[in-house]
Structure 1
């Protein structure tokens, strides 16, 4: 289905034909959520399949773990240049291209027995992810009227916690029962289904005209963009340091066997957070952004000071999930609002910094574990979240304003 050329409606557009401007096009938005799910699960799936994958590829588990790193590297290196190069493409064509990239990459990963070939496939998946992440939030915004944009992004971003709290355990179980290759084949099958879904249900929109394509450096000068990007980099870094090593942290507390339950509580709280943010973001983006940083800070403080009580660990996991779950929606929305006509460029930079922070969190977390032990994780999170909170509070006019403006 193709939409007629868009007309400006605030920072988004008039919804596609078939909607009345007051309803969410759920079928189309759920396809975007599935795209987010595939993107997130493709990145993290090897973590639950390392022993089996390393045996098949003939390398160590640590070397196999670099399949996650190379994925992030593919996104970091290509998100900004490819976003600029494809700015003129019609949006549906670009979305289909990025999803097709996942189908190819996961298929090659499923059949490869050569480590170098697998690494190339994972890099290609990361490139596809860079295209997708720079596109998906803006796509969701353009499907609806301005007052529904936050909810639309929240629905699309719901694929993240679903992938983390359901997809990774399910993929790990499938890999144990039917072999790790089956898990990647299932991702290919799901992606093919999604491609058909997108063709049938997702409206099309034009890209930027040649003279209107935003320049990345100029976008940094747009008021509000830099604070949002700073918050993205530091907040994601703080989260990743703890999340990537949560099993090690819990093992240090004697709760290693309860890692799954802790992550389940975190995941459920994250889904609740996404629902709350989606329902209220149009009026309370600033309040929710401040609340998110505060909740993560309180959770880190609990884990740092009184984590010897298992009940309080569960409470901290719930607070952490409540604080973190809506963050992707909040930051994507804030970047789109601040960027204005350069929203796609702002989103591309946000995606790049997000993946830089994830890679950096893994490296810094590993160093902290070796040098200071797992007990240093929550203190580090707290130290990093405090300036995040300060920047959000300070960016009251641009970046995280009390009243969202439509330009």
Structure 2
């Protein structure tokens, strides 16, 4: 082991839970910023003179730039201290929110969303690798569950509050309201994150090496299908609830609150269930969330049924992230940053394609066609995953 590597080992904290909490808040703000257009899709479209399908591309463009950033960040960052890379990505999120809130046109909105995509790609590429350095190995699933608790918080409060406040004050004010929270998070990062020097620069060869491993390649494709299914549906959930369930702004806010609060159950379950073999859990997201989408398609005209299926979807949504990032941490532990880059690229590509495909189906056919597309992708994921054993590193 080199002297630099030994220095990193000596400086590694036993368990920096304050830093984990800071990252959890950053996750909450990233999720809120990335998917806020879902709850504000209709008023944003009207305010910018665009269709709902076009405005849905505000999510896909952030995904496009997140893909590029995720593949480049670990190489571009070189041996820079990872603490300051995370601080820089959070500052970029703050700038993005200001641009979106003040956007005088659809083009400026898309520029702001592109900057957010760079932040998303940069943060998520490093997040799991950083968590693996902040806590002992046995505590990694717990720390991941805690970090993704930020996702549950964003899911529980960002969308319903965003929808409600957007109806009262306007969609721009919702984005302005996020900026002071992100500013606080920026300061918290500086204070709480320990120094995270890296002695080795990741490069493209490391990523290609991972892709040559059949189990990792299969898992990556399955992950993409699962995420693509989820966000083909989720991006266009508001038009479905308005057109099929027939709810107004208040009803929409309540249903989104139910979906989000159910996410806390998913985080709680992930913390307790992911202690052993992860293989049996890999197909659960596509199976459960795909099943919930079928339920909405068949019974979504009922508010009570819609609430039930959205709660099921929301609970699995937060567990989803912990399951797949735990899989990554255990099956690519020799190259966590490169694996993180590939995982983020795969997930963001899926979100991008899901938003594009869902928007095309919505504009050209119907909202029901969008949900059917989501179900088809979930079925493909389930078939590929099987019992999950072919996606585990050989012992």
The bucket for the TM-score relative to the shorter chain is 0.7 to 0.9
CA deviation vs aligned residue, 1:100-140 (integer Å, no higher than 9, x gap): 11122223334453554443232122111110111112212
Measure how far apart 1:292 and its partner are.
Answer: 3.2
**Aligned match of 2:291:** 298
Measure how far apart 1:150 and its partner are.
Answer: 0.8
Aligned CA distance change for structure 1 residues 384 and 261 (closer, same or farther; 3 Å): same
Relative contact order higher in (CA < 8 Å, ≥ 6 apart): 2
Report the Cα distance in structure 2 between the residues aligned to 1:73 and 1:297, rounded to whole angstroms.
24
**Aligned match of 1:86:** 77
Does 2:265 match 1:272? yes
The unaligned stretches of length 5 or more in structure 2 are 1-5
SS of the equivalent of 1:325 reads helix
**Aligned match of 1:16:** 13
Aligned CA distance change for structure 1 residues 331 and 308 (closer, same or farther; 3 Å): same
Report the Cα distance in structure 2 between the residues aligned to 1:255 and 1:358, rounded to whole angstroms.
26
Number of residue pairs the alignment of both structures matches: 387
Report the Cα distance in structure 1 between the residues aligned to 2:393 and 2:368, rounded to whole angstroms.
32
SS of the equivalent of 1:193 reads helix
Q: Is the 8 A contact 2:75 2:202 kept in 1?
A: no
Alignment of 1:42-121 (within 5 A): 42-49=33-40, 59-60=49-50, 66-113=57-104, 115-121=106-112
Measure how far apart 1:272 and its partner are.
Answer: 0.5
TM-score (norm 2): 0.85
Report the Cα distance in structure 2 between the residues aligned to 1:269 and 1:167, rounded to whole angstroms.
14
**Aligned match of 2:318:** 325
Does 2:276 match 1:283? yes
Alignment of 1:141-290 (within 5 A): 141-177=132-168, 180-210=171-201, 215-257=206-248, 258-290=251-283
**Aligned match of 2:9:** 7
Aligned CA distance change for structure 1 residues 162 and 380 (closer, same or farther; 3 Å): same
TM-score (norm 1): 0.83
Q: Is the 8 A contact 1:277 1:288 kept in 2?
A: no
**Aligned match of 1:131:** 122
SS of the equivalent of 2:383 reads helix
Return the structure number with greater helix share.
2
Aligned CA distance change for structure 1 residues 97 and 302 (closer, same or farther; 3 Å): same
Does 2:383 match 1:381? no
